Amino acid sequence: MPDHSLMEMCMTIRSAFRGVPIIVAGLCLLTLAACSEPEPVRLEKIYTLSSTNPTGGQAEIVRQWTAGELTMQGALMLAHERLDERNDAPSTAFAYAVLCAITELEGPITKKEVNEFFWMRTGTLAGKGAAVAWKLGDRPGARLIVMAGPRRWQTDDYWMRNPGHDALASYILQASGEKVEALNRLRQRPDLAPEAQKAYDDIAAAK
């Protein structure tokens, strides 16, 4: 969605310099193009930024969402797609940036563009991102991502629907020196799916 204040500025510049040399008109056209940059282009730039600077990527998502220049649904979709397609460190970094931006904007986005499916997708992004980081041998990254995002998605219903994520979360906690927490979180479930039960048994038996 274009930023109308920027668009108005662009139009003012164009009017003010009507009839002046072509180079000035060209500069104005470049400015207008930037003003109307589509969401996929904006997200691609943020993805590139996040690959080396997740905090900067988070800040840019928050800034552009607040300005009405992109949607959180779009950011979430791209994060899922890149993890599915690439399974690499840049895709996990972008996933983390998106999850942190959702946390920062939880209140405002809840009023505008989300539903329960959105929160389910937020949780599965954390699980998918952590699984890729874990596979790449990035244990600190996996620990950061595995339960990132607002706590709103971390419900018993979510964990029962996603037992692989539930098991992975406890394995990651155990590997991070948090064995007690790894077991306690599984004890709190009203019931454990086979994958989660195996994780509990493995962790409980580990010395």
Token pair 């510049």 in the structure block, residue: 13
pLDDT tens-digit series, residues 72-109: 999 999 999 999 999 999 999 999 999 999 999 999 99
The total of structural domains in the chain comes to 1
**pLDDT at residue 168, as a whole number:** 98
Q: What pLDDT was estimated at residue 51?
A: 96
1 inside domain = yes
* In a domain? residue 30: yes
Whether 83 contacts 128, CB under 8 Å: yes
Q: Is residue 173 part of a domain?
A: no
Domain membership of residue 8 as a residue range: 1-36
Domain presence at residue 180 = no
pTM: 0.82
- DSSP letter assigned to residue 191: S
Q: Is residue 91 part of a domain?
A: no
Which residue has 């959180």 as its token pair?
A: 72
What CA–CA distance (Å, rounded) separates 130 from 143?
7
4-51 pLDDT, tens digit each: 444 444 444 344 434 444 343 343 333 334 457 899 999 999 999 999
pLDDT of residue 98: 98
Q: Does a structural domain hold residue 51?
A: no
Structure tokens belonging to residue 112: 């505008």
Does residue 19 belong to any structural domain of this protein?
A: yes
